[in-house]
Amino acid sequence: MSHHFVVCTKNTGYEASLEPRKLYEVVEDSAASDLDMIRVIDESGESYLYPKDLFLPIPLPKSIEEQIAHVA
């Protein structure tokens, strides 16, 4: 399974769910992408849709992505 991460650059309107400068795991969701949204696992531990402009993609080596994905 492939894991991808983004960093939150702002949390305006989502202060309880997102922390700026924090990495979030992306959950692939083609329907969300069509809406200019992104699905991430937020502070609740569940995946939710957020506007894409709150995040920047973080390209990481596969080995690091796998290690981060398995941290509880």
pLDDT in tens, 28-65: 999 998 999 999 999 899 999 999 999 999 988 988 88
pLDDT confidence bin for 13, thresholds 50/70/90: very high
pTM of the model: 0.86
On the question of pLDDT at 72 being above 60, the answer is no
Report the number of distinct structural domains present in the chain. Answer: 1
**How far, in whole angstroms, is CA 43 from its chain's centroid?**
10
* CATH number of the domain that residue 8 is part of: 2.30.30
pLDDT confidence bin for 3, thresholds 50/70/90: confident
Q: 34: domain range? A: 4-69
Q: How far is CA 61 from CA 35, 41, 56, 65, in A?
A: 28, 20, 16, 6
In this prediction, residues 1-16 reach a mean pLDDT of 90
